[in-house]
Structure 1
Amino acid sequence: MLTNGLPKGTVPRLERPGPLRERVYEALLELITTRALRPGQHLVESELAGHLGVSRQPVREALQRLDTEGWVDLRPAQGAFVHEPTEAEADQLLTVRTLLEAEAARLAAANATKAGITALEKLCEKGEAAVGADDVDLAVATNAAFHAKVMELAGNSVLAELASQVDRRVRWYYTPVARLRGRQSWIEHRELIAAVSARDEAAATAVMRAHTEHTRTTYHEQAQE
């Protein structure tokens, strides 16, 4: 049940006024992508409404939208459940991610400024510290920020828009393997920074492709276990 599945303090009360339906949607999506609400978990409208401090109507509307987008499964006579991703779904998404991010790395090597490279280094330091402290949530968030920064340095708005469409799903798949990837992930990030700093487009592409493939492989190994 929901009350047993959410760590204490993970669900903030929603402030009013504002587009409540959108806020409820964003709150539930964040809980799903961070896996505070786990795949397969039963979502009870009344309990969600109580946690969020709202009525059941915006919760129902949010669940319907999440069902349409593939985050939630609405089952007749059973209710709503967090979607359980298949290995095929993960493979397809992470393959697309590799294509997008490899190109972003190439463009970042061509276009990054010193300030941009410094920003990547600071994020890398933050990520390494998170791994050292075994703070998985911070490591996942910093990993997402690092990849978003690479995308920003690429300077291609269309590529960035496409990447933003898969960003949350990438976080969803990355969270279960973040601890397994651990320090090695940030070693690979350091290698990418070196390639970008050297303006070596081919090396940056190869490093990013290998980096994202390692995540994909680790996810599948974890799923099989």
Structure 2
Amino acid sequence: MLNPSRTADRPAAAETAYQHTKRLILTGGLPAGMMLSEGEIAGQLGLSRTPVREAFLRLETEGWLRLYPKRGALVVPVAPGEAEAVVEARLLLEAHAVEALLERTPGARQALARRLTAIVARQIEALDAGDLDGYTLQDSQFHLELVTAGANSLLLDFYVTLRERQQRMIALSMLADETRGRGFVAEHTDLVALIEAGDAVGFSTALRRHLHRAHASGETDAR
């Protein structure tokens, strides 16, 4: 007879293994091309291999892992051309959202600028503390705020699907050279100033330069 408590705990254990492994992939803790075993993750979390196996299957479905029977799981590298595709999609969505925002009242742009300035401050705090994970999350939040401000729920839903790829590429870039973070923060500050000035064209130009610099370095480091 099955133990009801153990049966109830299994989905939670699988979710824990899933979240833990995915976070390591997105932050660069598990490098692209690395072979990973169920036993490693099970040992880190104090779990059996069964929930880890379930987590690995889920991550394979999402494209983060490639499973090889009796050998382990390969951390899937950033695909050639993926960075460029993500940049173009993000550029369209973020620039459009800000353009739509700037067509509304000045108060709307000022409110967004305040939220973005607070995020930039948290990025600086994370860099000063050497907190790469915290920095990457705030970087992602900065750009999510831009799309959210466009007030288009369909475009926002699509953008969210790109967010994890964005996090991984920024983390890879930062792992290669943490000094890049200061440059990215300066560029964020410039983007905020362009929003405050109501300069949609200048914002789009600066955003394109910023995204290409951030993602291109992440793709190069992943290869």
TM-score, normalised with respect to structure 1: 0.81
Aligned with 2:66 (options 70, 73, 76): 73
**Mapping of 1:72-221 within 5 angstroms?**
72-111=65-104, 112-178=108-174, 179-221=178-220
2:23 — aligned with what? 30
In terms of mean alpha carbon deviation, does 140-149 or 160-169 score higher? 140-149
Q: Distance in 2 between matches of 1:108 and 1:134?
A: 34
Q: Distance in 2 between matches of 1:66 and 1:192?
A: 34
Q: Distance in 2 between matches of 1:36 and 1:82?
A: 11
**Could you give the per-residue CA deviations for residues 180-217 of structure 1, whole angstroms, max 9, x where no partner exists?**
52222112111211121122322222222221122133
Question: Is 2:37–2:71's contact at 8 Å kept on the other side of the alignment?
Answer: no
Q: Distance in 1 between matches of 2:103 and 2:189?
A: 17
Aligned with 1:58 (options 27, 47, 51): 51
In terms of mean alpha carbon deviation, does 200-209 or 102-111 score higher? 102-111
- Between Structure 1 and Structure 2, whose CA radius of gyration is higher? 2
1:4 — aligned with what? none
Secondary structure of 1:139's counterpart equals helix
2:5 — aligned with what? none
Name the aligned partner's letter for residue 144 of structure 1.
S
TM-score, normalised with respect to structure 2: 0.81
CA-based RMSD of the aligned residues comes to 2.4
Question: Is 2:18–2:56's contact at 8 Å kept on the other side of the alignment?
Answer: yes
**Could you give the per-residue CA deviations for residues 10-39 of structure 1, whole angstroms, max 9, x where no partner exists?**
xxxxxx858423333222211210122221
Deviation at 1:161, TM superposition (A): 0.7
Question: Is 2:27–2:168's contact at 8 Å kept on the other side of the alignment?
Answer: yes
Q: Distance in 2 between matches of 1:223 and 1:97?
A: 20
In terms of mean alpha carbon deviation, does 57-66 or 89-98 score higher? 89-98
In terms of mean alpha carbon deviation, does 36-45 or 130-139 score higher? 130-139
In terms of mean alpha carbon deviation, does 189-198 or 43-52 score higher? 43-52
**1:113–1:220 distance in 2 versus 1, CA, 3 Å:** closer
The unaligned stretches of length 5 or more in structure 1 are 1-15
Question: Is 1:110–1:196's contact at 8 Å kept on the other side of the alignment?
Answer: no
The unaligned stretches of length 5 or more in structure 2 are 1-7
Deviation at 1:77, TM superposition (A): 3.9
